[in-house]
Chains A and B, each alone.
Chain A
């Protein structure tokens, strides 16, 4: 009989096997953990009174500075109370999100309760850790994982970094955006929802100005005790749009 973990790991193994067939898997790159956040995108998370905002731009780029689409969602709700934002290899990232959403749903159906946030983060971190060989060959996935109270960034070696300062960001535009967020939070460390949305839009505008891989179309979710809601959606039902739930 399959257990929950077996289901997850079997799916992960298939995913890894599928990637090992790619020609780029034979290429060795200079992998540095500190450069991981430089993958072309901007995904930001920001705490406010009573919840967390999670937003991402809509630009999918790669292969010699080509823009594939400006309307791809990079943030996905994976359960009733948590959401997942990805940077790096899009296909691998979305597949990890799918497996995570499936595992959480599977647990909920079997045990009649939702998995705790700690366990969800651990599960995601273990999956990313298993993908470390992929990351070293260039297929990096670096997700940000949020609930209505916590923000966690997960590095390709499985390290979980908690955003206790009240914000978090991944992708090449995030250093610029986080500078702006830090400056705005200096006056008002615990903003309300309206102010938090203003700060986030300003940070995304800054990232769009300074980073070529960050588009102007945004998808922003708000996570609160009552549930997950869309705050802003410019990407609509784009070509990569899918509902993981």
Chain B
């Protein structure tokens, strides 16, 4: 198993982090997305954040050609379930378990190269204390969190970022304040430098491109909204 981990370590570390936090307004998703070149045109870049169900959002990082088919399949399963049962009967925990199972099967199969993907799933409830987050790693391990979570390939930096975010009380913030707080926390880690690549080592790039989305709390029907990224007034 360790050999296989070594095999994918290089790929793994290029997976830039995705963060989801539970705020007063709803669940805020922030992803560092290196494919955003032109601004405000949502068709031109590879999305890392996506709507799965009315109150469930997904963040993915890793290899796009690997996570995108999984995301599409996942959406089909959820839609089919919502049609057969009802919209309120979608349970995040069991869906996440299925996804994690698939990743684990691929990881344990010695004949294929494992996926290099990380998934973050979040479910928004009317009561912020009932929000929950699921983090699935490439070997199929999954863990449930309460207030926030981070995924990313660089284990050490993700750990540092988690510790920094633990100190902030996001539940009392609205989303622009929470976004600023996340940016500040990211600046304290090496993540921004890793995301910027070699160029930003010399010329100090202010910030890599962010993809931001929110699941609005208390809204009836579909709660997902992709916010225009790099919001200027929030500096």
Mask: chain A, 1-14; 1 = CB below 8 Å from B; 0 = not:
11000010001000
Q: Are B73 and A2 in contact (CB under 8 A)?
A: yes
With contacts A112-B43, A112-B47 taken as known, whether A102 is within 8 angstroms of B79 at the C-beta atoms is yes
CA distance A106 to B71 in the complex (A): 12
Flag if A7 contacts B73 (CB, 8 Å).
no
Cβ proximity bits A66-107 to B, threshold 8 Å, 1 near / 0 not:
000000000000000000000000000000001100100110
Contact with A along B80-102 (1 / 0, CB 8 A): 10110000000000000000000
Query: In whole Å, how far is B89's beta carbon from the nearest beta carbon of chain A?
Result: 15
Q: Which residues of B contact A109 (CB under 8 A)?
A: 50-52, 75, 79
Q: A113-B42, A245-B221, A245-B222 are in contact. Are A106 and B76 (CB under 8 A)?
A: yes
A110 within 8 A of B: yes
Residues of A within 8 A of B79 (CB): 7, 102, 105-106, 109
**Could you tell me the distance between the alpha carbons of A98 and B79 in the complex, rounded to whole angstroms?**
11
Query: How far apart sit A99 and B79, CA to CA, in the bound complex (Å)?
Result: 10
Q: In the complex, how many angstroms separate the beta carbon of A207 from the nearest chain B beta carbon? A: 32
Chain B residue at smallest Cβ distance from A101: B83
A26 within 8 A of B: no
B83 near A1 (CB under 8 angstroms)? no
Instruction: Find residues 119-172 in chain A having any chain B CB closer than 8 Å to their own CB.
Output: none
Q: Is the CB of B83 within 8 A of A98?
A: yes
Residue A194 at the chain B interface, CB threshold 8 Å: no
On whether the beta carbons of A106 and B75 are closer than 8 Å, the reply is yes
Asked if B38 is an interface residue, CB under 8 A from chain A, the answer is: no
Residues of chain A within 8 A of B43, CB atoms compared: 112-113
Do most interface residues of chain A lie in helix, strand or loop, or is the interface mixed? helix
Q: How far is the CA of A96 from the CA of B43 in the complex (A)?
A: 30
CA distance A2 to B43 in the complex (A): 23
A28 at the A/B interface (Cβ < 8 Å)? Answer: no
Looking across the interface, which residue of chain A has its beta carbon closest to that of B49?
A112
Smallest CB gap from A4: residue in B: B76
Query: Within 8 Å of chain B (Cβ to Cβ): is A18?
Result: no
Decide if A243 is an interface residue (CB 8 Å cutoff): yes
- Please, which residues of chain B bring their CB within 8 A of the CB of A98? 83
Q: Mark B181-209, 1 if CB is under 8 A from A, else 0.
A: 00000000000000000000000000000
Given A7-B80, A102-B83; A110-B69 close (CB under 8 Å): no
Q: With a CB–CB cut-off of 8 A, which chain B residues contact A105? A: 79, 222
Which B residues have a C-beta under 8 Å from some C-beta of A?
42-43, 47, 50-52, 69, 71-73, 75-76, 79-80, 82-83, 221-222, 226
Binding site for B on A (CB under 8 A): 1-2, 7, 11, 98-99, 102, 105-106, 109-110, 112-113, 243, 245
CB-based closest 9 A-B pairs: A2-B76, A106-B79, A109-B51, A109-B75, A1-B73, A110-B72, A245-B221, A102-B83, A102-B79
29 contacts between A and B (CB under 8 A): A1-B69, A1-B72, A1-B73, A1-B76, A2-B73, A2-B76, A2-B80, A7-B76, A7-B79, A7-B80, A11-B83, A99-B83, A102-B79, A102-B82, A102-B83, A105-B79, A106-B75, A106-B76, A109-B50, A109-B52, A110-B71, A110-B72, A112-B42, A112-B43, A112-B50, A112-B226, A113-B42, A243-B221, A245-B221
Q: A106-B79, A245-B221 are in contact. List 20 more A-B contacts (CB 8 A).
A: A1-B69, A1-B72, A1-B76, A2-B76, A7-B76, A7-B80, A99-B83, A102-B79, A102-B83, A105-B79, A106-B76, A109-B51, A109-B52, A109-B79, A110-B71, A110-B72, A112-B43, A112-B47, A113-B43, A245-B222
